[in-house]
Amino acid sequence: MSIYWEEFYSTHAAPADFGDNKARMEEFTARHLAKMGKIALITSGGTTVPLEHNTVRFVDNFSAGTRGSASAEYFLQEDYAVIFLYRFKSLEPFVRHFMGQKFLDLLEITKNEGASSIQVKTNVTEEVLPILQQYQAVKKSQQLLCVGFTSLADYLWLLRAACELLTPFKTRALLYLAAAVSDFYIPSHQMPTHKMQSDSGPPTISLQLVPKMLKPLVSLWVPEAFVVSFKLETDETILISKARGALEKYNHKMVIANILQTRKQKVVVVTSNTVTELLLTPEEIQSDLEIEEKIVKFVTKSHAVFCSP
Ligand code: PMT
């Protein structure tokens, strides 16, 4: 039988920084394995699909990494060690709260005897302090490892390596696959080396299907882990049936189904025998509660039941 996902790895070289990132994940997992705690691999953000080997142009998707980066903070609060596999330049835990201009707007310059210093404005201290405290505690305890990817191939190489390192954690490993992974790509041997030239006329680009990595992930790479996948649709009428279909096909534990436009207020958690809607009330939205807090509570409770003897 041809193992179609192996074909992807044999025809797409590992990224240049793969060895370094694998070594960082090895060090992190070895340290946490000895502690006997739980560990989560969170994937976050979108993957790019390059159109040229020397990539000038690529196909991308909408994902900002909000789901993954917010969830990482809540898993850390639940005492999980977290490997955060994220798309470079998408949102990261903690810093996500102060992106762009907002960061500079938090600061003020004070002068004392001609010397300038910078401090956080008094009126935002209450907002910054708890996040800074959580960030520093996580840094001190070395509970979080962030590993970045850009392209689909980068992501798939890192995903497999991370899974293999999680195998010894057995049921204590949880996979939370929130990244928006491309379903279509141009195989390496069909890609031009150099930038496509417009004077050659409009290109005809033929995309092929990316192998669904959930299959080997669940059955071979981390067979004992608690695997949670996500299902994104834009048509509400097919959402639950697609989620059920994924569970039947891949035989993992849970699918978190969401609709593009409402994903920040509502998700549906589908298991082999339950369908549970999680949503934010208007009051909760008003008080800045994040749906990821509810999702992570639900998932970690289910994982605890799964782990209990
Ligand atoms: O980042 P945000 O802006 O906050 O958005 C969050 C989100 C909408 C991206 C997230 O909540 C979400 O739904 N992520 C999964 C989106 C997606 O890729 O859905 P899918 O139906 O294409 O894939 C379903 C599952 O198959 C995914 O868990 C994916 O990891 C997996 N997959 C996908 C492609 C592939 N080649 N192999 C896979 O195994």
- Say yes or no to pLDDT of 309 above 80: no
96 C-beta closer than 6 A to ligand 1: no
Q: Give the CA dihedral 180, 303, 279, 241, nearest 10 degrees.
A: 60
pLDDT in tens, 251-274: 999 999 999 999 999 999 999 999
Q: Closest Cα to atom 31, ligand 1: which residue?
A: 214
- Say yes or no to pLDDT of 185 above 70: yes
- Say yes or no to pLDDT of 15 above 80: yes
- Say yes or no to pLDDT of 2 above 60: no
Of 63, 86, 259, the C-alpha closest to 176 is: 86
- Say yes or no to pLDDT of 98 above 60: yes
- What is the average pLDDT across 207-230? 96
Q: Specify whether the CB–CB gap between 88 and 149 falls below 8 A.
A: yes
Q: Mapping DSSP to helix (H, G, I), strand (E, B) and coil, where does residue 65 land? A: coil
Domain 5-94+139-224 listed as CATH 3.40.50.10300:
yes
Q: For position 259, what pLDDT does the model report?
A: 98
- Say yes or no to pLDDT of 199 above 70: yes
Of 62, 69, 97, the C-alpha closest to 288 is: 97
Q: Ligand 1 atom closest to Cα of 90?
A: 1
Q: Give the amino acid at 200.
A: S
What percent of the chain is predicted at pLDDT more than 70? 99
For 142, half-sphere exposure in the C-beta direction (CA atoms, 13 angstrom radius) is 9
| DSSP E strand stretches across the chain | 39-44, 49-50, 58-59, 81-87, 107-112, 115-120, 144-149, 173-177, 184-185, 208-209, 226-233, 254-259, 266-270, 275-279
Task: Give distance in angstroms: CA of 37 to centre of ligand 1.
Answer: 27
Hey, where are the domains in the chain?
A: 5-94+139-224, 233-309
Q: Mapping DSSP to helix (H, G, I), strand (E, B) and coil, where does residue 162 land? A: helix
Task: Give distance in angstroms: CA of 230 to centre of ligand 1.
Answer: 5
Binned at pLDDT 50, 70 and 90, residue 1 comes out as very low
Q: How far apart are CA 209 and CA 5, in angstroms?
A: 11
Q: How far apart are CA 235 and CA 242, in angstroms?
A: 11
Task: Give distance in angstroms: CA of 156 to centre of ligand 1.
Answer: 13
- What is the average pLDDT across 291-295? 98
pLDDT in tens, 69-84: 999 999 999 999 999 9
Q: Specify whether the CB–CB gap between 255 and 270 falls below 8 A.
A: yes
pLDDT in tens, 100-148: 899 999 999 999 888 999 999 999 999 999 999 999 999 999 999 999 9
Binned at pLDDT 50, 70 and 90, residue 5 comes out as confident
Of 16, 250, 1, 4, the C-alpha closest to 153 is: 16
pLDDT in tens, 23-34: 999 999 999 999
Site to probe by mutation for ligand 1, drawn from 9, 181, 296 as the one with most ligand atoms within 8 Å of Cβ, is: 181
What percent of the chain is predicted at pLDDT more than 90? 93
Of 64, 56, 99, 286, the C-alpha closest to 194 is: 56
DSSP state of 217: I
Q: For position 297, what pLDDT does the model report?
A: 98
- What is the average pLDDT across 172-186? 97
pTM over 0.85: yes
Site to probe by mutation for ligand 1, drawn from 176, 215, 232 as the one with most ligand atoms within 8 Å of Cβ, is: 232
Q: Closest Cα to atom 5, ligand 1: which residue?
A: 63
Least confident interval from 101-115, 224-238, 277-291: 101-115
